[in-house]
Copies of this chain bind each other. A is one copy, B any other.
Amino acid sequence: MKRKITDKSIELFEQKGFTQTSIQDIVNELNVTKGTFYYYYSSKEQLLMDIHLEYIDELLAKQARIIEDSSTSNKEKIVGLITQLIEDIASKGPHGRVFFREIRHLANDNIAIVKEKRNQVRFNIENVIQAGIETGEFKGKLQADVVSFAVLSLTNYSYQWFKPGGEMSTKDLINYYTEILFEGIAEE
């Protein structure tokens, strides 16, 4: 039932926004009582925090698996991180949109917790870029932090326009973006 409440809430938050969705709306859709809701969550805000933590903790766990793989180069790790971020957004559309859009409705100390985890997502990318600069895979003049923002811009903004199942496949998008990022667009 907890899973059902979370999934339905994500759906409603995405359609109507967090503020516009009441606990009554959620339980109505599931044909349960408010009591059922309060058995699992003390408030709508706690539910929103749960949605945020689930999204980001899963992301961090997947990143860890990519980064800790000792058989891959830093370049391959960056491809892996981009793939995972874009696939995540493509496969978990509504969850991702709620994640990006509704963070400001969390309580201040919860915002701080989520923001720290978000920063960790970025530092993971930055560290791989830095390692790749040191091995000579990436250009020495680069600022690893700026590159990490560029990578996150490409992946995170894709939820604004990319339609999975459309003409362009997720795999195509990942190939185009990694090619642009690694080789650039200018003819030499």
Number of residues of chain A lying within 8 A (CB) of chain B: 39
Could you tell me the distance between the alpha carbons of A75 and B187 in the complex, rounded to whole angstroms?
A: 10
Q: Is the CB of A186 within 8 A of B75?
A: yes
Q: Is the CB of B19 within 8 A of A186?
A: no
Q: Is the CB of B17 within 8 A of A176?
A: no
In the complex, A108 has a CB within 8 A of chain B: no
Give residues of chain A (159-188) contacting chain B, Cβ–Cβ below 8 Å: 160-162, 168, 173, 176-177, 180-187
User: Using Cβ atoms and an 8 Å threshold, which residues of chain B touch A129?
Assistant: 185
Choose, from A34-42, A45-53, A64-72, A150-158, the stretch at the interface.
A150-158
In the complex, A147 has a CB within 8 A of chain B: yes
Smallest Cβ-Cβ distance to A176: which chain B residue: B146
Q: Is the CB of A185 within 8 A of B181?
A: yes
